[in-house]
Amino acid sequence: MRKDILLSIVIPVYNSEKTINVTVKKIMKTLSSKLIYEIILVNDGSKDNSYTICKNLTKKYKFVKLIDLSKNFGQHNAILAGYNNVRGDYIICMDDDLQTPPEELWKLINKLDEGYDAVYAKYISKKHTILKRLGSNLNGFMLRALINKPKNLFLSSYCAIRRFLVDEIKKYEGPNPYLWGLILRATSNITNVEVKHRERKIGKSNYSIYKLIKLFLNGFINFSVKPLRFIFSLGCILALISIIFTIRIIIMRFIDPSLPAGWTSLAVMILFFSGVNLISLGLIGEYLGRSFLYQSKYTQYLIREKLNFNEKD
């Protein structure tokens, strides 16, 4: 990698008072003076002493920068806050818990140098909890179904992307950014590189069932209208079945006039109008979904304080 390329490392920080200092030190040791770089710590409403530790790091090292958010907005929102303030040509995102080893940074950087737009770490042996593995597998299935993610592509929070992708991601104004979806929507020139994955020695995972479901819904709703199209198709199928059923009932009445009247017409009406209602909801939802995708402008994050950023940044 050329020495004149500035590298930006974005780290969302949440309740990591025991690990963030070590993480930064390991990054410094790994990169040494081989290139110009900056480390952007995004404190996402931590409830422990993370803010103070991050602030002390900015006082000690000018290349360490801090963005302090007003509350906990979520990992992807925090990363987006970092992306909106990076200066690098290469941008790396990594966790604050030492499970994604800083010593493997060069693997991602060198892979970008081969010409890829985005590189995701693929863990040789994952040390995540069962809950997080389940969430990862569920998101992977959803991305394949809705955004056409290649089946052999592994997505993780440890990744490196080029600056033009960050510039594209920054255009998204929705309240719930789903970074994997935004990157997959912008490029297909993506690859994996194998890295080690450590067991969590300090603390516990910040991902709860609620957060995993919220992340899943962000991707499921925000980046595809396929669910709405599925409902529309289902409505068409039900309407068609009701028509076929109507024809069948009419034929049966001609064959056997003794069939009791009333229930047949009621069943037909219920089936038919259920199908029509689903078609209508699908069409309305299509318009509402598209409107939501392009016009939603709720707050993504709110910055309370920025440290070590120049005014021009």
Residues 234 and 154 in one domain: no
Angstrom distance (rounded) from CA 301 to CA 66: 15
As given in the structure block, the two tokens for residue 29 are 């040791």
Residues facing 195 on adjacent strands: 123
Q: Could you tell me if 60 and 13 lie in one domain? A: yes
Element (H, E) at 91: strand 90-93
CB 8 within 8 A of CB 64: no
**What number of other Cβ atoms are within 10 A of residue 156's Cβ?**
20
Say whether pLDDT at 312 is over 60.
no
User: How far apart (Å, rounded) are the C-alpha atoms in residues 149 and 23?
Assistant: 31
Q: What proportion of the chain, given as a percentage, has pLDDT over 90?
A: 41
Classify residue 215 by burial, with Cβ atoms within 10 Å: 0-12, 13-18, 19+.
buried
Rounded average pLDDT over 291-312: 78
Query: Is residue 150 domain-resident?
Result: yes
289, amino acid identity: G
Rounded Cα distance between 68 and 193, Å, is 31
Is the pLDDT score of 162 beyond 70? Answer: yes
Q: Which tokens sit at 46?
A: 């931590």
Residue 105 domain-assigned (yes or no): yes
Average pLDDT rounded to a whole number, residues 119-148 = 67
Domain count along the chain:
2
Mean pLDDT of 155-184: 89
pLDDT tens digits for range 53-104: 999 999 999 999 999 999 999 889 999 999 999 999 999 999 998 888 898 9
pLDDT, mean of residues 204-212: 58
- Looking at mean pLDDT, say which of 63-72, 117-126, 171-180, 238-247 comes out highest: 63-72
Mean pLDDT, range 214-221, rounded to an integer = 60
Q: Are residues 54 and 159 in the same domain?
A: yes
Same domain, 214 and 289: no
What are the structure tokens assigned to 175, written together? 């309240």
Q: Looking at the structure, do residues 71 and 208 belong to the same domain, yes or no?
A: yes
310 falls within a domain: no
Instruction: Please check whether residues 118 and 219 belong to one and the same domain.
Output: yes
Highest mean pLDDT among 129-138, 141-150, 236-245 belongs to 236-245
| Residue 112, number of CB atoms within 10 A of its CB | 23
Give the domain-ending residue among 184, 203, 224.
Answer: 224
| Domain membership flag for residue 124 | yes
Mean pLDDT of 129-156: 68
Any domain includes 261: yes
Q: What pTM was computed for the model?
A: 0.72
Compute the average pLDDT of residues 108-114.
94
**Residue of 4 and 62 predicted with greater confidence:** 62
pLDDT at 129 over 60: no
208, 224, 240 — which closes off a domain? 224
Percent of the chain exceeding pLDDT 70 equals 68
CATH number assigned to the domain comprising residue 214: 3.90.550.10
96 plus 219 within the same structural domain: yes
Residue 268 pLDDT greater than 80, yes or no: no
DSSP 103: G
pLDDT tens, position by position, 250-264: 777 677 766 665 566
For residues 189 and 259, the model is more confident at 189
Q: Is residue 74 in some structural domain?
A: yes
The first and second tokens of residue 306, run together, are 């920025």
Strand pairing partners for 121? 193
φ/ψ region of 222 (left if φ > 0, alpha if ψ in -120 to 50, else beta) reads alpha
Residues 6 or more apart whose CB falls under 8 angstroms from that of 61 comprise 24, 28, 39
Cα separation of the two ends of the chain:
24
Domain-embedded: residue 303? no
**Alpha-carbon span 107 to 157, nearest angstrom:** 15
Among 224, 247, 264, identify where a domain stops: 224
Q: Supply the range of the domain harboring residue 156.
A: 7-224
